[in-house]
Structures are given as C-alpha cells and as structure tokens.
Amino acid sequence: MTVSGDRWKEKFSLGRLLTSVTREGVGDPAKELQQAQRQVQEMLEKAAAQGEIQADVSSLPVKGAVVFINPQMELVLNSPSVPVVTLKELKKFVRSKAREQKAPPAVLREVTAYLEKVAEGKN
C-alpha cells in the first residue's frame, strides 16, 4: 500500500487480482478517519450537553490514525495527510498522543469512563 497525501494505492499483485471480486477496496481512509473523529467529538459534546459528562469537552482534541492490522501489508508512506500505523506500532502511537495531551487528568478519566460505558452498550 502506498500512501501519498490523500492518495491510497494498493500495489498490483496476482493475489489481489484473484480476490478482487470478493475483497472490499481500500476506499478513502483519510476521509473515513476524519468523519469518525467528528462523530466522536459530536457524541462527547452531546453527552456534555445532556449532563452525562460534566467536563468541558468542546476543546478536547479527538485524534485518530488509520491502522493496518495485516502484518504482511507493506506500507510506503509519502507524507500521508493522516497518521498511518501498523498494529505493531499502535501502542507507541497512542502513548505518544497521550504525552501530547494537555487536558487535565480528571477530564481524561471522565471521558474515558464515558467512552467505556458507551462501548459496553450501557448508555
């Protein structure tokens, strides 16, 4: 997979040709990531407006990355417009973003607890 800015190209291979009928294309991961980030931000703002979160989340940055889970995927990155990582690199990426975070720990704990509740379907 070659990523140049917003362009995502998968290298041609015989295997890709044989599975082209059953495989889903790569689509537009940058656009999908930006949409997902926007949806999470809107969800947090709605939760705050409804009193489910007490913290001010309007300035809380929502960050993400495109994650490739196939360890055999070869990535060639030429200034991608969004962060792109492999599953093996994900933990390091998350930790680096956590160090950059300027939100108070209490806000992060409250938002994390809310997101865990949502993920478990308790909301």
Region 55-78: what's the mean pLDDT? Answer: 89
pLDDT tens digits, one per residue of 23-41: 566 778 999 999 999 999 9
Q: What percent of the chain has pLDDT over 70?
A: 87
Buried-state track 68-92, b at ≥16 Cβ within 10 A, e below 16: beeeeeeeeeeebebbbbeeeeeee
Reported in sequence order, the residue ranges of the chain that DSSP labels E, i.e. its strands, are 2-4, 7-9, 66-68, 76-78, 84-86
Distance between CA atoms of residues 44 and 38, nearest Å: 10
Of the given ranges (6-20, 27-41, 45-59, 73-87), which has the lowest mean pLDDT?
6-20
Judge whether 4 and 80 are in contact, CB under 8 Å. yes
Q: Which of 85, 70, 74 is nearest to 29 (CA)?
A: 85
Phi/psi of residue 65, nearest 5 degrees:
-155, 155
Question: Angle at the Cα of 118 (from 112 to 123), degrees rounded to 5?
Answer: 125
